[in-house]
Chains A and B, each alone.
Chain A
Amino acid sequence: MPVRHGIVLPYHGGAGVQPPAVSIEPSVSCYYYYARGDETGACLRRRRLETKKGFLAFWLPSLPAKKNRREVVSTDLWERVCDLLEQGRSVCLATVVASEDEDRVGRHLLVLSDGEVEGTTGLPELDRQITRAACGALADLRRGWVMIPEGHRVFLDTLAPETSVLVCGAGHIAVPLAKFARAVGFRVTVLDDRPDFAHPDRFPGCRVIARDFREALAEMPLGSHWYVVVITRGHEHDAECLEAVLRRPTAYVGLIGSRRRVGFVLEMLGRQGTPRDRLRDVFTPIGLPIGGESPAEIALSIVSELVCVRRKGPGQARLLRRAVEEGS
Chain B
Amino acid sequence: MTDREVFEKVVELRNAGVATCLATVVGAGGSTPREVGAKMIVCADGTTYGSVGGGCGESQVKSAALRVLLVTGRPELVEVDLTDDLGTRGGDVCGGRMWIFVEPMHRE
Which residues from 17 to 57 on chain B have a C-beta closer than 8 Å to any C-beta of chain A?
A: 17-19, 24, 26-27, 36-37, 44-46
Residues in B lying within 8 Å of A, measured CB to CB:
1-4, 7-8, 10-11, 14, 17-19, 24, 26-27, 36-37, 44-46, 59, 62-63, 66-67, 69-75, 77, 99, 101, 103-108
A85 to B6, CA, bound (A): 13
Contact, CB under 8 Å: A74 / B108: yes
Choose one: B3, B46, B67; the contact of A30 (CB below 8 Å): B46
Choose one: B45, B67, B74, B99; the contact of A68 (CB below 8 Å): B74
Smallest Cβ distance from B39 to chain A, in angstroms?
Answer: 9
Contact, CB under 8 Å: A26 / B73: no
Contact, CB under 8 Å: A157 / B24: yes
Contact, CB under 8 Å: A82 / B7: yes
Neighbouring B residues of A74 by C-beta, 8 Å = 108
Neighbouring A residues of B106 by C-beta, 8 Å = 62-64, 72-73
Contact, CB under 8 Å: A75 / B10: yes
Choose one: A25, A30, A31, A82; the contact of B59 (CB below 8 Å): A25
Task: Give 30 pairs: A residue, B residue, CB < 8 Å, sorted on A.
Answer: A5-B17, A5-B18, A7-B44, A21-B67, A24-B70, A26-B59, A30-B46, A46-B70, A62-B106, A62-B107, A64-B72, A68-B74, A70-B74, A72-B108, A74-B108, A75-B14, A75-B105, A78-B14, A78-B105, A95-B24, A95-B103, A97-B99, A106-B75, A143-B36, A143-B37, A144-B26, A145-B26, A155-B26, A159-B4, A162-B3
Contact, CB under 8 Å: B10 / A78: yes
Contact, CB under 8 Å: A79 / B19: no
Chain A interface size, under 10 / 10 to 19 / 20 to 34 / 35 or more: 35 or more
Which residues from 56 to 98 on chain A have a C-beta closer than 8 Å to any C-beta of chain B?
A: 58, 60-65, 68-70, 72-75, 78-79, 81-82, 85, 95, 97-98
Neighbouring B residues of A60 by C-beta, 8 Å = 19, 44, 69-70
Asked whether A117 is an interface residue with its Cβ less than 8 Å from the other chain, the reply is no
A73 to B22, CA, bound (A): 11
Question: With A25-B63, A68-B72, A143-B36 known to touch, is A78 a contact of B7 (CB < 8 Å)?
Answer: yes
A199 to B106, CA, bound (A): 40
Contact, CB under 8 Å: B103 / A73: yes
* Other A-B pairs beyond A30-B45, A69-B73, A155-B101, 5, CB < 8 Å: A21-B67, A22-B71, A60-B19, A73-B105, A97-B26
The chain A residue sitting closest to B104, CB to CB, is: A72
A106 to B69, CA, bound (A): 14
Residues in A lying within 8 Å of B, measured CB to CB:
2-5, 7, 21-22, 24-27, 30-32, 46, 58, 60-65, 68-70, 72-75, 78-79, 81-82, 85, 95, 97-98, 105-106, 143-145, 155, 157, 159, 162, 185
Neighbouring A residues of B59 by C-beta, 8 Å = 25-27
Contact, CB under 8 Å: B7 / A73: no
A5 to B44, CA, bound (A): 9
What 6 pairs across the A-B complex have the smallest Cβ distances?
A64-B73, A155-B26, A106-B75, A72-B106, A26-B62, A75-B14
Contact, CB under 8 Å: B70 / A65: no
Contact, CB under 8 Å: A98 / B77: yes
Choose one: B7, B14, B71; the contact of A21 (CB below 8 Å): B71
A105 to B68, CA, bound (A): 13
Give the interface centre of B3, B10, B19, B63 by most chain A CB atoms within 10 Å: B3
The chain B residue sitting closest to A6, CB to CB, is: B44
Question: With A25-B59, A79-B11, A97-B26 known to touch, is A106 a contact of B103 (CB < 8 Å)?
Answer: yes
Contact, CB under 8 Å: B74 / A105: yes
Contact, CB under 8 Å: A81 / B7: yes
Question: With A26-B62, A64-B74 known to touch, is A7 a contact of B45 (CB < 8 Å)?
Answer: yes
Contact, CB under 8 Å: B73 / A2: no
Neighbouring A residues of B1 by C-beta, 8 Å = 185
Choose one: B10, B37, B69; the contact of A157 (CB below 8 Å): B37
